[in-house]
Every structure is written in C-alpha cells, then in structure tokens.
Amino acid sequence: MYTSVRTCVCVFIEWLIRPKFTQTNLTCTQVVFIGTTTTIRRMHFLGFLFLHLLNQVSAFSNITVKESIGGLITDPWVLDDRKRIDAETVDQVTPIIIVTTTAATYDLSLACLKGNLTFSQNSITPHLLVCNFTGHTDIPLSISFDTDISEVATLLPPFWMYLSPGSVDMTLNFTICLHRMGSVYLKVWMREAKPGGREGVLFSFDPSNDTSVKQYTSWLVNGSRVYEAGGGAAMGLHLKILRSRGIMETIFRAIVAVMVCALTLVMGCELDVMLIWKHFKKPVAPIIGFICQYGLMPLIAFGVAMVVPIKSEFGFGLLTTGCCPGGGGSNIWTLLLHGDLNLSMTMTFISSITALGMMPLMLFIYGRFFLDTRAIHIPYTQIAGQLCYVVVPVVLGMLIKWRFPNSAKRMVRLFLRPLAFSFIFIIIGFGIYVNLPIYALLGAYPLLFPIAAALPWMGFLLAALLAFLCRRSRAEILTISIETGIQNNGIAILVLLYSMPQPEGDIGAAIPLVVGFITPFPLMLAYAVVAIREGKCSQCCRKKKITELVGTDDEEQQKGLKSSSKDQNFETIIP
C-alpha cells in the first residue's frame, strides 16, 4: 500500500511541475499500482488516475466496464485493449482465430473457430465456446477469464486457473450466457503466481465473496500484482451477439407492403390532378419542403449526434434517419389532420426521387464523423422499390377516380380511415413485437429516447416555423411540417444494414425504429384535439339545426293559428 501511495504522490508532483504539456509531447509515466505495472498515457485529469488506482486494488481481472446511458465506454485502457485485439484479428482470413500474448518468460496463445465467435440471440440457453490454449511459460502464472461488459454477456462463471512452468496444451470450455444484442470481449489476464499451486483446476470467482477473493489473491505474487514486461496486460476474443431473424419479420414486411399499396391506392382516389399540377407550376411549398427535408433534418440529426454523448453506431443511425426522404405515414397524418393531401403526395414523390442523389451527398458530408464514408452503401434498388410503392398505386387510384368517380368516392368513404388507423396500429404493435431485441436496447441506453424524439419533433417545429415565415396557408404549413418530421425509416434501416457490420448495423437500426415509434405522439395529440373540436362543432351544428327546425315549426304554427283566426273572424262577419 505504501508503494502505491508513494507512486501517486510522485505522479502528482510531476504533473504539478510540468503544467504546460500537450498531447503530442506528453511523456509516458510508469505508475506502480498494487500488483499492477502499466503505462499511463495522456492523463488529463488527476482524479481519474486515482479512481483507476482504486479499482486496481480489488478487481478480479480489471477488465469489467460499464457503458454509459448513451453506449459509450470511457475507460481508455479497455478501449486500447479492444483496439489491440481487433487489430490482431482483423487480417486473419483463416477459419481459426488465434490471439497471442508474449513476454520474456512466457508465450501463450488462444485459438478458436471464427464461426463459433458469433452467436444468435434466439436462444436463452447458455452457449458453449471451445478454445485451444497452448504455449509455454517459465514461471508460475495465474490466468483469469471474464467478459468486459457483463450486461451483454457473461461467463458462467468467471474463473481463474494456475499454470506451472512448462509447456501448455489444453482445451478450455467457456459457458457464455447471452443477455442482449451487441459486442463483448472475452479477456484473458496473466499474473505471476507463487509456486506450488494446483494445476488443471478451474476456480470460479465471485467478487462479492470474500473467500473467493482471498483464495484468488493468495496465490498472486505481492497480493495482486499483474506480470507483464512489455506493457500489454491481456489478450482476448471478440464475441458478437446478433439479432435473430425469423418468419415473423418476413410476414411483417409483407403486411406493411400490402397495406402501403392499399392506402396509397385509396389516397389516389382522393387526389386532384389540377391541384397537383398547380403545385408543380408554382412550387413554392414543395421547395420549402425540400429545403426542410434535406437541409434542416440532416443538420438537426448531425447536431444532436455530435452534442449528445452516444456511441458512433447510434450517431450514424440518427444521421441516416435524418437524411432519408419523407415516409408514407406523412400522407396518412396529413389526411387525418386535414392538411393538403395533394401537396403531401407531391412532396413525398419529390423527396423520394431526389433521395437517389441527396442521401449520398448528405451522408458524404456528415457521415465521415462517424465512420469511413467508403463503407457507406446506398440501396438504390430498395429506394426505387419504395418509390414504386408510392407512385404506381397512386396513379391507379387517380385513374379509378377519372373513370369511376362514384366508385372512387365510395372507396374513400369506406376504406381510407379504417386502413389508416389499422396501418398505424400494425406499425406500432406488430413492429415492436418483431423488433423486440432492438427495442430491448432502450433499457440499457435510455438516452435513445430523447435523441430519437428530438429529430422528428424539432423537424415538425422548425419546418412549421419556416413555412409560417414564408406566409403559407394553414393547410400548407401543417403539410410541410408533417412531411419534414416523418421520415422513411425503412430506407434508413437498409442503409445501416448495408453500410455497417453486424451487430453494429442492428444496433444503429435501433435509432430509426425508435424514431418511428416516437414520432406519432405529438400527431396523436393533435388528432385528439382536432377530433374534440370536430365533435363540438358537429354538436353545435346539430343544436343549431334543431333550433332552426324548432323555430320554423313555431313560425308555421303561429302562421297557421293566425290564418285560422282570420277565417273564423271572416265567418262571423259574413254569416
């Protein structure tokens, strides 16, 4: 303990006498912890140093870390370990992944089949990972195993074992319990041990059990001292837990596609060709909507992603959602809230066409802050397919209105609102069930709620403000606001799945899913207000009609009484 305190004082004095350092000229300071020798680089805050020293005293493998509510890992040593492990394995193209740790007195490696490092989340039963542990050591070692993020996956149980000097060739069976989708690293730590231990026995470790901790530290040289001559303290394997995909997801997509086609067909029966042509001839409102769609929304998404501390997968997911064209749900809400449906369909068509060029441009401008822009892939075929879902049924609906106007009116009256409400309920209810593993991330990352709400809700507000400043009508302001805030989240999910490896793509896809879930809430509130007002107006109209009818009946009765009295008087005068 005295050595640790003395070292901390030395580091503090050195920090005081060298206050003007930069990241480029800062020399590395060797800090001796209780049982740990490691290189501390670029320490900007003294308090963080003492916090790390405190953690070193009681940790089993000193690799357990917790993510922030935005998914960030702030421990620099854990981040360095992850980068080193990924750099060691990224170029290995063989079916077997091999990681090594080498020092002056030992050379050990861990080998495993690459396919066994990827797990599916469809099973709640623990998974078995078999690895070969080989090499040699000249000194006794205590080797501990654990995962670095226990919320994603854990070993059942975490354990350590004793190695005597000599050759090592054994098979290790790791029992891994999966908790949620994500990436986790299985870490292996080497520590110099006292001679005379029991080799080949796996000792489970429970940090809350004093007996287990005492048994572990009693075999370590100087209590809990990590042995590593070269500065690297661990080797490990990158484990990936992927979202399971089944038949329900295919059914959900098919139902959504059919309902979108049916809805746009019925909405096409409501459109007026002359009004659409009017918007194209004087495209003031479509231009405002275009500026909001591809100027305002990407900027909002980028600003929120850069200001709020979230992991890069979430940041790129938010940016991709902000760069998408308007979604088909905007037409439904425009209709329900009595906006300009012709303008809404015009803006949806324009934003979908221009998305083929504007999405790559916006992602190229802003995407470089989150990942390599060369990895971004725009699914042009899927965007064209989404455009066909909008254009073809709408054209058919307009043809029905032209040839059979009475049938078109009947279709609109009977099917439009029921289909619209059914579509909303299916998207929210069935969509949550199908994407439940992604929505489960909200419990681990509650910060996703406010950032997902910020994008569409700020889009609603700022687009309405811009349209108001441009002196548009109430219906156009409402339509521009709805078209701007409601995004085509399906395209965002496709871009993320094509541009990012798994499970990072599915993790990033949580953002458009949450955005799609949380977007309609202010619109539902607005619809409730509209429905109440319409109900009151209808009641007032009924009362007015009733009073008018009663008034006319009274007048007729009075006229009848007057005429009858006149007749009686006439009869009395002329007998």
Question: What are the tens digits of pLDDT across the range 290-304?
Answer: 999 999 999 999 999
pLDDT recorded at residue 11? 38
Question: What are the tens digits of pLDDT across the range 208-228?
Answer: 777 777 777 777 776 544 433
What is the Cα Rg of the chain in Å?
34
pLDDT of 68 > 90? The answer is no
Per the model's pLDDT, the better-predicted residue between 477 and 1 turns out to be 477
Highest mean pLDDT range out of 391-400, 437-446, 471-480? 471-480
Q: What is the secondary structure of 214-254 as a DSSP string?
A: HHHHTTBTTTTPPP-SSS--EEEEEEEEEPP--HHHHHHHH
Q: How far apart are CA 456 and CA 80, in angstroms?
A: 36
User: Which residue has tokens 């419990």?
Assistant: 443
Question: Would you tell me how many other CB atoms lie within 10 Å of the CB of residue 38?
Answer: 18
Highest mean pLDDT range out of 61-75, 200-214, 236-250? 236-250
pLDDT of 468 > 90? The answer is yes
List the beta strands (DSSP E) in 295-442.
none
pLDDT of 267 > 70? The answer is yes
Task: Give the strand order in the sheet containing 141-147.
Answer: 118-120, 234-242, 182-192, 141-147, 159-163, 202-204
What are the φ/ψ torsions at residue 30 (nearest 5 degrees)?
-80, 115
Q: How far apart are CA 103 and CA 184, in angstroms?
A: 25
Averaged pLDDT score across all residues of the chain: 78
State which amino acid sits at residue 491. I
pLDDT recorded at residue 461? 95
Q: How far apart are CA 227 and CA 105, in angstroms?
A: 10
Q: How far apart are CA 330 and CA 351, in angstroms?
A: 12
pLDDT of 515 > 50? The answer is yes
3-state secondary structure of 165: coil
CA 565 centroid distance within chain: 83
End-to-end CA distance of the chain: 134
Highest mean pLDDT range out of 10-14, 134-138, 386-390, 497-501? 134-138
Angle (nearest 5°) at CA 418 between 412 and 421: 125
pLDDT of 123 > 80? The answer is no
257, with CB counted inside 10 A (0-12, 13-18, 19+), is middle
CA 138, 141, 147, 149 torsion-angle sign: negative
Position 151 confidence tier, pLDDT thresholds 50, 70, 90: confident
Cβ atoms of 276 and 340 closer than 8 Å: no
Question: Would you tell me how many other CB atoms lie within 10 Å of the CB of residue 254?
Answer: 10
pLDDT recorded at residue 562? 53
pLDDT of 266 > 80? The answer is yes
Question: What are the tens digits of pLDDT across the range 319-363?
Answer: 999 999 887 788 889 988 988 988 988 898 888 888 888 988 998
Q: How far apart are CA 164 and CA 102, in angstroms?
A: 17
State which amino acid sits at residue 282. K
Position 462 confidence tier, pLDDT thresholds 50, 70, 90: very high
pLDDT of 556 > 80? The answer is no
3-state secondary structure of 31: strand
Alpha helices in 380-404 (DSSP H): 380-403
List the beta strands (DSSP E) in 247-392.
none
pTM: 0.75
Give the residue-averaged pLDDT of 93-97: 89
What are the φ/ψ torsions at residue 260 (nearest 5 degrees)?
-65, -45
Position 307 confidence tier, pLDDT thresholds 50, 70, 90: very high
DSSP-derived secondary structure letter, 309: -
Residue 569 neighbours by CB under 8 Å, 6+ apart: none
- What are the structural domains of the chain? 1-58 (no CATH), 59-242 (2.60.40.10), 247-531 (1.20.1530.20)
pLDDT recorded at residue 25? 39
pLDDT recorded at residue 564? 54
Residue 139 neighbours by CB under 8 Å, 6+ apart: 105, 106, 165, 192, 193, 227
Question: What are the tens digits of pLDDT across the range 181-194?
Answer: 888 998 888 888 88
